[in-house]
Amino acid sequence: MAKAESPGLPLDLSRSLLVIIIPGAVATTTWVLFLSLQYQSVLTFYDAHEVTGNVVLFVLSVLCGSIIENFGTSIEVGWDSERESALHVSDNWYKYLARVT
């Protein structure tokens, strides 16, 4: 018998794209635009080293996205621990995991 697909978000490129890369790109875009408009040397570097510039922008996006995701996880853990006694967060979480995996 084949295992039914999980309705949750798979841990592959989709999750990475939605949780880390897109938020990181949105967060860094403003700063990159500001720096490139403020300092001509940023544009000069990018014109001379386009591939390296793209790699640097991608790495910055992933790092910022990871920091944002870590910050959100910290908020969620704090929220869950404050409401554990009233909402039985751990019990509900394990019931959810048993259903979708």
On whether residue 9 sits in a domain, the answer given is no
Residue 65 CB partners (closer than 8 Å, separation 6+): 19, 20, 21, 22, 23, 24, 25, 27
Is residue 71 domain-resident? yes
Whole-angstrom distance, CA of residue 10 vs CA of residue 16 = 10
Residue 8 belongs to some domain of the structure? no
In a domain, 2, yes or no: no
Structural domain including 26 reads: 18-100
pLDDT at 6: 55
pLDDT tens across the length of the chain (101 residues): 445 555 555 556 777 888 899 999 999 999 999 999 999 999 999 999 999 999 999 999 999 999 999 999 999 888 888 888 888 888 888 888 888 76
Provide the number of structural domains found in the chain.
1
pLDDT at 95: 87
